[in-house]
Each structure stands twice: as structure tokens, then as C-alpha cells.
Structure 1
Amino acid sequence: MIDKITRLLAQKAREAGRGVRGTSAFLRDWQEIKKLAPQQPDFPVIDYYPVLTDRYVESGNLTHHYFDQDLTMAQRIFQNNPAQHVDIGSRIDGFVAHVATFRPIELFDIRPLNRPISNVTFRQVDFMQLPDELIEYTDSISSLHVIEHFGLGRYGDPLDVNGHLKALDNIYRVLKPGGRFYFSTPVSTQQGIVFNAHRVFRVDYLVSLFEKQYDIANFWLIDDSNTLRAGLDCHSEAARHSFGCSFGCGMFELVKR
């Protein structure tokens, strides 16, 4: 297993010079995550996919996933017109840019952002350790393709197999009662950790989590063919099997009770 990982790491390092810098950190975290994984049986380590450079780049530098996600969620925020909107870690060159064209948006991210952007306010925040002044801070919050990364060390954060749960709990605390949470994450028939790239979730697992604290206003799915599908029943038998996705994107609009 280690030989296979080492070969994959070498390939990654050749593709990006910064990969050399991230190789030792990945190998250290790989050994540690295997020790921690039994503490969270819902998310076994099912595979690995080394991401070596993200801890060294600025906030929101993702260059793929997903045009439809960013556009759909920005349109919903425009339609709902909240008093304030905060985003947690979503990509700047897509979703954040969309929202900033029609309203101010405040960004929270563990990574730095060292350039000013019109209509965007930035605050460096570790969402695993929420400052008290952010409790019930906003009536609208988003986090798109982010939660799957918390606690996996990809961005230099400490390893925590419950990182996704802690981050979701803190997002709930930041949101005011009646406020809306716009959320997306990878979904699949097989739930677990693909270290250190991300987690993948079953749709029914997410629904069971959210319904303890939110009403589900809308659900969308980007399937394996990158087709946006609206009007799906997230409580259906098909949802229990994540609509057959190997690596789709589940998108929720949630209202805090």
C-alpha cells in the first residue's frame, strides 16, 4: 500500500512543483488518519487521492466543480434577497463572483485572501473553533463543496474525523433562526473518506442530519453526467442509494428552525 501511495505521490509531484513540499505532510497525515478513522464509523477511509498543494494556495482557488451549482445557488440568494450573506470557503472565481455582482458578500475561510475584491469582505476564520461574536451572526449563509474537506488536512487544518459534523454545527450556530443555509457536497452510493481529497456522502445520511435542525426547502442533484436535476424527492428510495451516483453533487437549500 505504501509503495503504491509513494508512486502516486511521485506522479503528483512531477505535475506540480509544490507537490514535493506537500508530500511529507500527506504521508504524516495518512498514517494519522488511519489511527483516527475508527472513531467515526460512518466514514471509513475507502480510498486515497493525494492533494498536495492546496494548503499553500489562497482561499477559494478551485478551478472545477461546478458551473450549475454556483449559478443555481447565486440565483436563489438573489431571489431571497437576505439582509446579509456570509459564505464559508466556496470558490471565489465562480459562486462568490456571481453573488458579488448583485450584493455585498462576506467570506470566512481558514486560508488567507491577500487581494481586495469589489463587494467582498474577507475574514480569516477557523470554523472548527467558532468565535463567540459570530453566533447568530447572519440570516443567510452558504458553503458549497467545502464541508467534505474539514478535518482531512488538505488545507493545513488539523486532522479530525468528525470535522464535517463540527463545521456543520458551527454553521448552524452562525445562522439566525429562520435564516437560510445553501449547501452542497459530493454524494455517492458509497460513503467514506477519500484521503486527503474529500469525503463522499450518501444523500439519506445528509437528509437525516439536516432534518434535526432545518426544514429542507429545495434539493438538487448534479449527477455523474454533470446534469443538473431539480424536483427530486430526497426522501425517496432512490435517494437512499444517492440516485445511483458514483460522484455526484447534492445541493440543499435549508431553513433553520
Structure 2
Amino acid sequence: MNANNRLPVSKDLFPCLDDRTTTTSFDRHYIYHPAWAMRVIKAIAPKKHIDISSTLTFCSMLSAFVETEFYDYRPITLSLDNIVCGKADLASLQFADNSIESLSCMHSIEHVGLGRYGDAVDPNGDIKAINELARVCAPGGNLLIVVPVGIQKVVFNAHRIYQAASFTSYFKDFTLKEFSLVDDDGILLRNVDLSLADNQSYGCGCFWFMKNTR
């Protein structure tokens, strides 16, 4: 490496011995669900989007083309234009009733009430979060939700897994516009029947709801 003296070789070695793979691996849940959400939001074309506790990668990239607000139980300081960050507790959101027209909460509801992130242990924490998201979403507004789906259970204190059809029953004032699934084989299946999730061990369910206007 010192043959042409172009760059000095550090004495601090950093051996990387596990990267000679034939393909590039990636986290199927956390690549596909933000990619799905970006495509839905592109179709919706909102003036502003508010996200509660989804992956920060999603919000930071979304802010490149949509005014974005990002809130988390553990607030973060992010130095980017077109995005505002703050603190929010999914069990008790600070927003007014029926006030948000474009809203997302992805891969977060399943954690609420399990104490994993310093929140109080509450077996119904996820239901409280769902009710709060439903409360603040505006009539005619869009709500993007992502949770683990499959054979339902609580894996304490990591997460919950939901039966997809049962999960939709929590959103009584909403119409399901689309259900997409990242299955156990890591394949993204767009706009499929809820029943396809039933036998998954740890699928990623992507729900696009629209709040009824009555």
C-alpha cells in the first residue's frame, strides 16, 4: 500500500474480513417499509407530513421533497432543512383532534407499553397509541402504519406481533386503502390480501388507512 507514497498507511489497522460476500445483505423490514411509505406519500402528495417514531432514515429523506415533522419518545436533534423534530408520547399525543392530514407511525406501535424505551409498562399501551393516532388524524387524512404481522403474540420486552385482520379491526373509523407485506422470505408483496400474513413468523405489515369523512 505504500508503493507510490500517495497516501500514508496508518499504523492503526482496521481489518474487515467478513464483507467478501457474493451479494449485499440488508434488513428487509427496514429497507422495504420506508420504500413502500415513500411511494405512498408520493402518490398522496401532501403539503406536510408528520411522523411519530418511525426510522429516522425515512424522515430525513422524506424531508428532501415534503415539509416534515418528526416526533419521538426519545427526541433527537437533526440539522437538516425542511424538517422539525420534537418529543411525543404515542400514548398521549399533544396534537389537536382531527388535525393531521398526512401521518405515519411505522414499526413503533408494537413497542408501546413494553418498557423497552423507558416508557411505562402497560399491556394496553399499543391500543392507547392506536387510539391517539386515530384521534389526531383528520377526516379524509392518510395514516400509514407498519407493525410486525403473523401468528400473534407478545415477545417481551421486544415487540408484539399482530394477526393482520385483527389489527385492522382497531381502526374502526378508517378504510384500508392498501395492505402490503414483507414476508418471511424477505419479499415485498404490494397490495395483497390480509390473509397472506396469517402464517408468517415475523412478517412486516404495511397498512395505508384513510380516515372516513362520515
TM-score normalised by the chain length of structure 1: 0.69
- Output aligned runs, 1:168-247, within 5 Å: 168-189=130-151, 191-210=152-171, 212-234=172-194, 238-239=195-196, 242-247=197-202
Q: Partners of 2:40 and 2:153 in 1: how far apart?
A: 30
Q: Partners of 2:30 and 2:93 in 1: how far apart?
A: 28
5+ residue gaps in structure 2? 1-25
The alpha carbon displacement at 1:161 in A equals 0.5
Corresponding residue for residue 251 of structure 1:
206
Q: Partners of 1:151 and 1:184 in 2: how far apart?
A: 17
Q: Partners of 1:157 and 1:85 in 2: how far apart?
A: 25
Asked whether the 8 Å contact 2:77–2:85 carries over to 1, the reply is no
Instruction: From the CA coordinates, give the structure whose radius of gyration is larger.
Output: 2
Amino acid at match of 2:178: N
Asked whether the 8 Å contact 1:221–1:228 carries over to 2, the reply is yes
Corresponding residue for residue 128 of structure 1:
91
TM-score normalised by the chain length of structure 2: 0.82
The alpha carbon displacement at 1:134 in A equals 2.9
The alpha carbon displacement at 1:86 in A equals 0.4
Q: Partners of 2:78 and 2:35 in 1: how far apart?
A: 24
Alpha-carbon deviations, 1:88-125, whole Å to 9, x = none? 100112x2133112111101211020232322101211
The alpha carbon displacement at 1:221 in A equals 0.5
Name the SS of the counterpart of 1:204 in structure 2. Answer: helix
Residue correspondences, number: 186
Alignment equivalent of 2:39, drawn from 75, 81, 86 = 75
Q: Partners of 2:191 and 2:33 in 1: how far apart?
A: 15
Aligned-residue Cα RMSD (Å) equals 1.6
Q: Partners of 1:169 and 1:117 in 2: how far apart?
A: 31
5+ residue gaps in structure 1? 1-62
Asked whether the 8 Å contact 2:143–2:208 carries over to 1, the reply is yes
Amino acid at match of 2:78: R
